[in-house]
Amino acid sequence: MSYHIVLVEPEIPANTGNIARTCAATGAHLHLVRPLGFNTDDRTLKRAGLDYWHAVQVHYYDSFQEVKDAFPEGRFFYASTKASKRYDQMDYRDGDLLVFGKETKGLPPELVAANLDTAIRMPMTGSVRSLNLSNSAAIVLFEALRQSDFPGMA
């Protein structure tokens, strides 16, 4: 098994490319929910992922419900600045799905509200609205991997 990064309607190709590279380095699967704010053959997307695209399992969906249907027993964690629980207060396990929203708006408020028990946030000062999407994904993924003692990684 492995962890899963789910990006719901990502808008910036460089962020998705950076996340793909993180997935390649960790064995995580990348799930992209359309509409995407870029074309998947975008030069910036490919450049950010460097030559690691062959090492990433990328899955595409037309809706978030398709992701839920593909993982009926899955444990989903929803990253949001509106969440009350910190990302490091959760107990992660191999196979969990870490869900992130689009750069400009985050996840839909109704999705976060319906999943408050597994909604997570990263602490930060009040001087910014949010962290960069690729940084946020890496922070949460590496906490999950740390809790799992970095399976399959040297």
pLDDT at 49 over 80: no
SS (H, E, C) 6-70: EEECCCCHHHHHHHHHHHHHHCCEEEEECCCCCCCCCHHHHHHCCCCHHHCCEEEECCHHHHHHH
pLDDT tens digits, one per residue of 77-128: 999 999 999 999 999 999 999 999 999 999 999 999 999 999 999 999 989 9
Which residue bears the tokens 């992701």? 67
pTM listed for this prediction: 0.95
Residues in the chain: 154
- Please name each of the domains of the chain with its CATH number: 4-147 (3.40.1280.10)
Taking the C-alpha atoms of residue 77 and residue 55, their distance in angstroms, rounded to an integer, is 24
Residue 79 and residue 100 in contact, taking contact as beta carbons nearer than 8 Å: yes
